[in-house]
């Protein structure tokens, strides 16, 4: 967890530092995490709608005539109705600047989601009311817990049949170890969502549906007495359940929330825009503002220190007309000013930030100034890779981002030999973005690199982008390997002497030993104990 307790250095104090700290205090930077199809992108769109930055919401699986969500901009995302790349949206709400990072829900893209979680200060954990906590949600929650990221829980799709609300609270407590502290409670069972009881003041917030959920749902606030008269049975049941909660779980405690002991809970229907405004208010009121970020030595660089940031994502193909490349940076300290020259940490060279933009899905606009917590897109930043640090003034290096060990491998061959340059450029681009890991060997040659990925859907994305962005259609030939381990030059001959193995080199110079099964790896290791075979879990980018 970030901290503000680090001592300020002489160059980190004064009026300018205080101004930056004030601006940082206005920022809320968070990600939405969930299992696929829990409604994450729909919620992202609904939040933007409630903040009045768009006039009409789309839905991933919307009705005819409804637009696709702003955050899902890739052709494959629109066609499949799932998020396969993270997206950044920035907008103002009340007196707060909101940086909302939408993430892929599919497990095949969990590495992208992990990187996004390094750039946020809080997370919204979205749960399907009918399915409860699912596998991918739990994996991403584990990342949040490891990083000390406080979590707000939203039970979505309450407009559809689902589990009992109290049962869901028990599930959250048992499986996450967090104590759920509901701020709102549903009036009406799952599938009959009428509104919510606000536990903080006892009022009833009654919702009215709009056509297709495309506009903000009207909300009427009633007193307990008026609620009992309007919805006697549903209100009585909600009151009875809240009394049970009062007896077993306390109300919201900000310190316990920030320390990862409790999770505030809200009930909503993102597709109907029910309860979305309440979530925005909770994020503004309760989610933490940016704080000092620890460097590699564990010392926090205060938000008022000179400018620093790190790259957590690189994306190309967002602008089909210009084929540009966008590096997303999370600002950690100081003021970012467009055109400023900063230092590129890995090389120590100057880096000019001439083209800087705020991102709203696929749409962008140039920005002049940004502050800690903000996410800025640097255009055509070909020198930047995921995990790189940028800074002004005192040098700083932030901890590198970890990669996931690949489990699927495929040889990549160009279908059109005349397009060798496009093929090579596309491979290099996908590799630099972290879309795939690229392995090479003398045995296979430069024309047949190997894609190494966490999940097979990454192959589809890579092949689609090679054809449509780089005009270099490819053929992927699956390889039988399922396990990769780090090795060294001295071990290569011993490893490859056994069948079911191969050694290849990654672009960062690491040698990876590939095995068809864990059994094969065990045979190799036991037969020659002196070989270097180390897990890849600790492999790092940057």
**Degrees, nearest 5: CA angle 214-283-268:** 45
SS3 of 24-54: HHCEEEEEEECCCCCCHHHHHHHHHHHCCCC
Please name the helix (run of DSSP H) or strand (run of DSSP E) that holds residue 262, with its range, or none.
strand 262-267
Contact criterion met (CB below 8 Å) for 245 and 202: no
Task: Please give the full DSSP string across 292-353, using - where no structure is assigned.
Answer: PEE-TTS-EE-TTSSPEEEEEEEEE-S-TTTT-EEEEEEEEES-EETT-EEEETTTTEEEE-
Alpha carbons 235 and 317: distance in angstroms, whole number: 51
Known binding residue 180? Answer is no
Alpha carbons 450 and 436: distance in angstroms, whole number: 10
Known binding residue 102? Answer is yes
Sheet with strand 450-453: strands edge to edge: 474-478, 408-414, 450-453, 437-440, 501-506, 511-515, 483-487
Token pair 């894609």 is found at: 451
Pairing mode of beta strands 179-182, 27-33: unpaired
Alpha carbons 322 and 316: distance in angstroms, whole number: 10
Alpha carbons 351 and 239: distance in angstroms, whole number: 59
Alpha carbons 27 and 25: distance in angstroms, whole number: 6
Alpha carbons 44 and 48: distance in angstroms, whole number: 6
Known binding residue 72? Answer is no
Known binding residue 103? Answer is yes
Alpha carbons 304 and 316: distance in angstroms, whole number: 32
Token duo for residue 254 = 């900000």
Known binding residue 402? Answer is no
Contacts of 463 (CB under 8 A, 6+ apart): 473, 474, 476
182-210: string of b/e by CB count within 10 Å (b at 16+)?
Answer: bbbbbbbbbeebbbbbbbeeebbbbbeee
Alpha carbons 386 and 432: distance in angstroms, whole number: 7
The DSSP letter of residue 235 is H
Backbone torsions φ then ψ of 340, nearest 5 degrees: -65, 150
Binding residue numbers for GTP: 102-106
Binding residue numbers: 102-106
């Amino acid at each position: 967890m970030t901290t503000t307790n680090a001592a300020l250095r002489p160059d980190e104090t004064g009026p300018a530092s205080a101004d930056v700290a004030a601006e940082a205090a206005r920022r809320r930077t968070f990600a939405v995490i969930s299992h696929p199809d829990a409604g994450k992108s729909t919620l992202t769109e609904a939040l933007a709608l409630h903040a009045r930055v768009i006039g009409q919401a789309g839905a991933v699986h919307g009705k005819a005539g409804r637009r696709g969500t702003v955050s899902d901009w890739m052709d494959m995302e629109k066609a499949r109705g799932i998020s396969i790349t993270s997206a950044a949206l920035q907008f103002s709400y009340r007196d707060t600047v909101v940086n909302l990072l939408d993430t892929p829900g599919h497990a095949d893209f969990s590495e992208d989601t992990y990187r996004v979680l390094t750039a946020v200060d809080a997370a919204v954990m979205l749960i399907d009311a009918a399915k409860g906590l699912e596998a991918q949600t739990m994996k991403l929650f584990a990342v949040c817990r490891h990083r000390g990221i406080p979590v707000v829980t939203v039970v979505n799709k309450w407009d559809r049949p689902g589990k009992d609300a109290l049962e869901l609270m028990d599930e959250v407590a048992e499986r996450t170890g967090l104590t759920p502290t509901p701020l709102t409670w549903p009036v009406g069972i799952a599938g009959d969502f009428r509104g919510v009881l606000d536990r903080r003041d006892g009022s009833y917030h009654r919702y009215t549906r709009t056509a297709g959920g495309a506009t903000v749902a009207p909300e009427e606030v009633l007193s307990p007495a008026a609620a009992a008269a309007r919805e006697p049975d549903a209100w009585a049941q909600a009151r009875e359940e809240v009394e049970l909660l009062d007896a077993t779980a306390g109300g919201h405690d900000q310190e316990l929330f920030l320390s990862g002991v409790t999770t505030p809970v809200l009930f909503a229907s993102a597709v109907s825009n029910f309860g979305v405004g309440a979530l925005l208010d909770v994020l503004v009121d309760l989610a933490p503002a940016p704080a000092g970020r620890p460097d590699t030595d564990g010392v926090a660089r205060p938000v008022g220190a000179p400018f620093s940031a790190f790259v957590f994502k690189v994306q190309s193909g967002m602008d089909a007309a210009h084929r540009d490349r966008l590096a997303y940076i999370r600002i950690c300290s100081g003021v970012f000013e467009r055109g400023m020259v900063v230092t590129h940490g890995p090389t120590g060279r100057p880096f000019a930030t001439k083209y800087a933009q705020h991102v709203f899905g696929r749409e962008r606009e140039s920005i002049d100034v940004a502050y800690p917590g903000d996410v800025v897109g640097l255009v055509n930043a070909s020198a930047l890779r995921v995990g790189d640090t940028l800074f002004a003034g005192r040098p700083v290096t932030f901890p590198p981002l970890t990669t996931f060990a690949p489990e699927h491998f495929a040889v990549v061959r160009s279908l059109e030999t005349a397009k060798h340059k496009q093929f090579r450029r596309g491979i290099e681009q996908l590799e630099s973005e972290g879309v795939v890991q690229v392995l090479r060997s003398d045995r296979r040659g430069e024309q047949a690199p190997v894609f190494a990925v966490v999940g097979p859907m990454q192959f589809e994305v890579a092949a689609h982008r090679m054809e449509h962005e780089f005009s270099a259609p490819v053929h992927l030939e699956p390889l039988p390997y399922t396990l990769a381990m780090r090795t060294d030059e001295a071990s290569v001959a011993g490893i490859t002497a056994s069948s079911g193995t191969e050694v290849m080199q990654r672009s960062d110079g690491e040698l990876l030993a590939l095995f068809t099964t864990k059994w094969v790896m065990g045979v190799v290791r036991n037969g020659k104990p002196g070989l270097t075979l180390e897990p890849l879990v600790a492999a790092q980018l940057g």
